[in-house]
Amino acid sequence: MINEPAVTEYLTGLEPEPDPLLAEMRAHGQRDRIPIVNHTTGGLLQALAAATGAKRAVEVGTAIGVSTLHLARGGAHVTSFEVDPERHAAAKEYLRRDGLEADLRLQDASEGLAGLESGSFDLAFIDGPKAGYATHLDEAVRLVRAGGLVLVDNVLMSGGAATGTSTDQWSQESVDLIRAFNDGLKRREDLRATFLPVGDGVALAVRQ
């Protein structure tokens, strides 16, 4: 929780009611304790994909496909990586049921990203293992065209990024890692990054 609970509740309430499929996916995530983007982050992803007219997006961390669904509903064809076979299969089925085409790959993201063509994506969304964020960011910068977007979730880690201490959700190791990651992101000359207090914190960077 990075905002006052009442503010978070209010913002969540302003998001459109999830349709039956999205509601089912969210219930699945909650039941099986699968970490998925919250409502406001999902709304942001969908709006950014639509507003920028992103045709091709690449994603690290499909889980059961909630963020993928938002990007795809925003108009992007998404290439997404996941290593958990059950989550990968569930995501495929949900996207199919929504009538959306996506390239969902059961593959380690670092391996998969390395095989994709430089500059061929309009948008990248990084939401996989936190220990891989630095490597995945380098790959995302290579893959996104000039003027495209690189988005990263959980950059505020329930406030731990700001206080420098662990939270109920995030270990001290993760907090130290994200603080170093955010510092590095801010300093990159090939990106113009800004940090949004949406959901668990989203970094939004424009590829220079």
Ligand X SMILES: C[S@@+](CC[C@H](N)C(=O)[O-])C[C@H]1O[C@@H](n2cnc3c(N)ncnc32)[C@H](O)[C@@H]1O
Closest CA to 134 of 173, 174, 185: 185
Q: State yes or no: residue 26 binds ligand X (CB under 6 A).
A: no
**Residue 80 C-beta: closest distance to ligand X, Å:** 8
Only segment of 14-22, 35-43, 171-179, 197-205 that touches ligand X (CB under 6 A) = 35-43
Q: State yes or no: residue 127 binds ligand X (CB under 6 A).
A: yes
Nearer to ligand X, 83 or 193 (CB): 83
CB 38 within 8 A of CB 66: no
Q: State yes or no: residue 197 binds ligand X (CB under 6 A).
A: no
Q: State yes or no: residue 43 binds ligand X (CB under 6 A).
A: no
**Residue 128 C-beta: closest distance to ligand X, Å:** 4
Query: Distance (Å, rounded) from C-alpha 4 to C-alpha 89?
Result: 36
Query: Distance (Å, rounded) from C-alpha 66 to C-alpha 199?
Result: 14
Residue with tokens 């731990």: 160
**Residue 171 C-beta: closest distance to ligand X, Å:** 15
User: Residue 95 belongs to what H/E stretch?
Assistant: helix 85-97
Nearer to ligand X, 100 or 146 (CB): 100
Q: State yes or no: residue 128 binds ligand X (CB under 6 A).
A: yes
195 CB burial (10 A radius; 0-12, 13-18, 19+): middle
**Residue 146 C-beta: closest distance to ligand X, Å:** 25
Query: Distance (Å, rounded) from C-alpha 162 to C-alpha 76?
Result: 32
Q: Give the per-residue contact string, 75-114, with ligand X (x = CB under 6 A; - = no).
A: ------xxxx--x--------------------xx-----
Only segment of 7-15, 127-135, 143-151, 162-170 that touches ligand X (CB under 6 A) = 127-135
**Residue 191 C-beta: closest distance to ligand X, Å:** 20
197 CB burial (10 A radius; 0-12, 13-18, 19+): middle
Residue in 18, 35, 75, 197 binding ligand X, rule: CB under 6 A: 35
Residues making up the chain, counted from first to last: 208
Sheet holding 191-196, edge to edge: 103-106, 77-82, 56-60, 121-126, 144-153, 202-207, 191-196
List residues binding ligand X (CB under 6 A).
Answer: 35-37, 60-61, 63, 66-67, 81-84, 87, 108-109, 127-129, 132
